[in-house]
Amino acid sequence: MPAVAWWRRPAAVDALIVVSVAVVLLFGSVRAAAAGQPETRQPLDALAYAMLIMVAVSFGLRRRSPAAVLAVSVAATGAYLALRYPYGPILLAAALAMFLVALAGPLRRSAIACGISVVAVVGAEATTARPGGAMAILQLAAWAGWLLLPWALGTVLRDRLEGITRDRAEERQRRLFEGRLQMAREVHDIIAHGLAVISMQAGAALHVLDRRPDQARVALEAIRGASRHSLDELRTTLAVFRPATDPEDRRAAAGLAQLDALVATTAGSGVAVTTQVVGEPRPLPAFPDIAAYRIVQESLTNVLRHSGATMATVRLAYLPDAVEVDVTDDGRGAPGSPTPRRGNGLAGMAERAAALGGILEAGPHRDGGWRVHARLPLGEPTT
């Protein structure tokens, strides 16, 4: 592990704070005493300096026990005021301790602790005040209000920090949920397409098994190829959950580079698939690349499962700032069809497009059949 610089070590930070507080208390008290004090105040002596040092040392416990810092500061401040030593920065130490307690503890507990501290400090000052007079009462009230201010600031800051912590936790949970949803969508698309191909080929094999065994063998070979392809793709998708020790696990995720294999698998299931490319093919960013592939995959899966089509066309258009995907077929989906295809697959495709800020349209084609059209901007997904 790399060495930690001394000024970043907790013990060194605590020691630096203790020394800094001691310097402020000692030199600040000396200067305050020399600047002029009421006649009732006594000059600093060894006991006063001991109290100041004790308060400074207590701040070394600020991380482990802010309540102990408050107790020591209030006790020393009360004794300091009761003995009529000069006013000075020791009053700031008690206020800072109240701030630390409010920042670290629950509201109810910090309010009780700081309330008792205010009464103790103001009570100690009251013992030195001249009896009677409205001025003394106003002075004590001002003291109480001034000492409550650090507690209020600490409480507000603690609430703010807790809010930030909650927001971050919620954001982590949201991202975790979105990641799981994305993974579930990937697995759905892989399995749905593979099972659609297997189902169609198995039906064909059963149909010709007795009359044309050679054709049944072809269908069974197609089933084996489709299942192997689906398992390989599923293993690659799930590889993110384990260390990549196998070179096969480090292959690129599904994308348009695997489109030819996808088209070949679909064509082997009895649907003639043609591919058209408009524009110059080029590598795409990861998210649009995967989304385009999955939209084509789900569209071809629907062609196999629902349409009864014999032909399908996959058209890719590479635009300067987007990629467009069109998948059409000649199956059931004539203009005016009252029951357009519905399902989780279509919703999943729409969600993929929306996550990229794109659009997806699906419905009967004007020339007959069914059409899925998606436009995917070449950018990062929205959050």
Q: Per-residue pLDDT for 340 more than 50? A: no
> What is the chain's mean pLDDT, rounded?
77
d(CA 348, CA 268): 25
- Evaluate if residue 43 carries a pLDDT over 50: yes
Looking at domain 173-377, its CATH architecture is 2-Layer Sandwich (3.30)
Nearest to 361 by CA among 335, 328, 338, 320: 328
**What mean pLDDT is predicted for residues 120-142?**
64
Cα separation, 127 vs 45, whole angstroms: 20
Reduce the DSSP state of residue 222 to 3 states and report it: helix
Q: Using the predicted structure, report yes or no on whether residue 198 has a pLDDT greater than 90.
A: no
Beta-bridge partner residues of 325: 316, 374
pLDDT greater at residue 188 or residue 263: 263
pLDDT of residue 93: 86
Q: What is the DSSP letter of 224?
A: H
Q: How far apart are CA 282 and CA 264, in angstroms?
A: 21
Q: In the predicted model, is pLDDT for residue 139 greater than 50? A: yes
Place of tokens 């013990």: 11
Q: What are the E-state strand segments in the chain?
A: 272-278, 311-318, 322-329, 359-364, 370-377
Looking at residue 182, its amino acid is Q
SS (H, E, C) 249-315: HHCCCCCHHHHHHHHHHHHCCCCEEEEEEECCCCCCCHHHHHHHHHHHHHHHHHHHHHHCCCEEEEE
Residue 379 confidence class, pLDDT cut points 50, 70, 90 = low
How many angstroms separate the CA atoms of 31 and 52, rounded? Answer: 14
In 3D space, the residue among 88, 89, 67, 72 whose CA is nearest the CA of residue 21 turns out to be 89
Task: Identify the three-state secondary structure at position 146.
Answer: helix
Question: What tens digit of pLDDT does each residue of 278-298 get?
Answer: 888 888 888 888 888 888 888
| Residues 253/187, Cβ–Cβ less than 8 Å | no
Other C-beta atoms closer than 10 Å to the C-beta of 204 total: 19
| pLDDT value, residue 335 | 44
Q: Say whether pLDDT at 373 is over 90.
A: yes
CA atoms within 13 A on the CB side of 291: 33
How confident is residue 110, by pLDDT bands cut at 50, 70 and 90?
confident
Over residues 197-204, mean pLDDT? 71
Indicate the pLDDT class of residue 246, thresholds 50, 70 and 90: very low
Domain with CATH 3.30.565.10 in the chain: 173-377
- How far, CA to CA in Å, does 151 sit from each of 1, 119, 186, 276, 340? 39, 14, 52, 70, 65
